[in-house]
Amino acid sequence: MASLKTLARNEEEQPRFRSGHSMCAGCGMGAAARTVLNSIPGPVVVVGTSGCFEVTATRFPFTAWGVPWIHVAFENAAALASGLEASYLALKHRGRIPDEPVTFVVFAGDGGTYDIGLQSLSGALERGHHFLYVCLDNEAYMNTGVQRSGATPFAANTQTSPVGSRGRGKQEQRKDITGIVVAHRVPYVGQCSTSHLHDLSSKVERAVAVDGPSFLNVLTSCPTGWGHTTGDSVRVARLAVETRFWPLYEVVEGHWRLTHEPAHPAPLQEWLELQKRFSHLHGSRNVDLVKEFQRQIDEEWQELKRRTAADAAWFAERAGVTA
């Protein structure tokens, strides 16, 4: 597992993502993306989706990218990665590029992954392309002004699931994108958070080492959309993990393992209180929604525990390989 010093040295040698972008102060995506990029050995080529991460980093004629980068549309990052990989194979086969590994990395938002991008993601996973797909999940369509996506948590207030005299926020449970990805039988899947960068970096290393597609879902906090202070950006993500709303785990060849188990799970309210998108749940308001939210979290956690317990033996046998 690379130390931060190693990542820092990597970034010093080759700053793959640089300052000057216009992401909001405190945006969780910056650190997540830098950590991913600094954790990958060898050349990297990046694909993006339309969204905050794309617009803020590439406003002509400025680019924050120190590695090749392409973006075309909202829903097709995985298809672009597929085409790039095919191009790479064709060029290698014909000797037009040297026979050395190149890692293709997709940075997509939750909209471009859970919703509009799901088709192209599914196709690329099914075909088994060798690429790393990183979802930078800030839990709504943020770039267009905070509209709900399939990734938006239950009860969250967004512009299209607003709280009003009748509306009480999003009424649907968050889509289980990781389960969907795992169902494609890909070699490596991980759920990560911008609050736990060592965990993220280790997962990146394991992800890029597999022969086939890998997927990381990284919770990235959003001061603008979640309604927390910029300085709380990491704290909010950390609490999302500690409340067990956003467990950190990985799925290796279909086998589940927790990579972090909160010693003392934080009360859900501690996390909700930091965010204006949940102000209708603060204090003792809308208790039924809070209870339902907690019920969902508990149910998902129990299911996760069941799976990780069932797969513990598999990991034990492989001990030493996945350190």
By CB under 8 A, the residues from 235 to 254 that bind other proteins are 235
| Cα gap 106→113, rounded to integer Å | 10
| Cα gap 126→115, rounded to integer Å | 17
CB atoms within 10 A of CB 213: 28
Q: Taking CB under 8 A as the criterion, which residues in 244-303 touch other proteins?
A: none
Give me the DSSP letters along 216-253: EEEE---IIIII--GGGHHHHHHHHHHTTSS-EEEEET
Q: Taking CB under 8 A as the criterion, which residues in 26-45 touch other proteins?
A: 26-31, 34-35, 45
CB-CB contact of 71 with 49 (8 Å):
yes
**Nearest CA to 165 among 280, 277, 273, 269?**
280
Among 41, 167, 231, 267, binds other proteins (CB under 8 A): 231
Site string for other proteins, 159-178 (x = CB under 8 A): --------------------
Among 72, 180, 266, 312, binds other proteins (CB under 8 A): 72
CB atoms within 10 A of CB 157: 26
Q: Which stretch binds other proteins (CB under 8 A): 77-85, 150-158, 163-171, 295-303?
A: 77-85
Which CB, 73 or 289, lies closer to other proteins? 73
CA angle, 105 as apex, 100 and 106 as ends, to 5°?
Answer: 155
| Cα gap 77→165, rounded to integer Å | 39
Which residues make Cβ contacts (< 8 Å) with residue 159, sequence separation at least 6? 145, 146, 147, 148
Among 13, 42, 61, 166, binds other proteins (CB under 8 A): 61
Among 2, 64, 146, 268, binds other proteins (CB under 8 A): 64
Report if residue 65 touches other proteins, rule: CB under 8 A: yes
Which CB, 175 or 235, lies closer to other proteins? 235
Which CB, 87 or 302, lies closer to other proteins? 87
Which CB, 1 or 25, lies closer to other proteins? 25
Report if residue 51 touches other proteins, rule: CB under 8 A: no
| Cα gap 305→249, rounded to integer Å | 10
Q: Taking CB under 8 A as the criterion, which residues in 81-100 touch other proteins?
A: 81-84, 86-91, 93-94, 96-97
Site string for other proteins, 117-156 (x = CB under 8 A): --xx-xx--xx-----------------------------
Report if residue 20 touches other proteins, rule: CB under 8 A: yes
Which CB, 54 or 115, lies closer to other proteins? 54
Q: Taking CB under 8 A as the criterion, which residues in 180-209 touch other proteins?
A: 194, 197
Report, in Å, the least distance between residue 163 CB and other proteins.
Answer: 27
- Helix pair angle (4-13, 197-209), 10° resolution: 70
CA angle, 183 as apex, 130 and 304 as ends, to 5°?
Answer: 115
Q: What token pair was written down for 138?
A: 């800030």
Report if residue 47 touches other proteins, rule: CB under 8 A: yes
Among 176, 205, 232, 273, binds other proteins (CB under 8 A): 232
Among 144, 159, 171, 230, binds other proteins (CB under 8 A): 230
Among 10, 40, 54, 161, binds other proteins (CB under 8 A): 54
Interior/surface letters 23-45, b for 16+ CB within 10 angstroms, e for the rest: bbebbbbbbbbbbbbbbbeeebb
Q: How many residues bind other proteins (CB under 8 A)?
A: 81
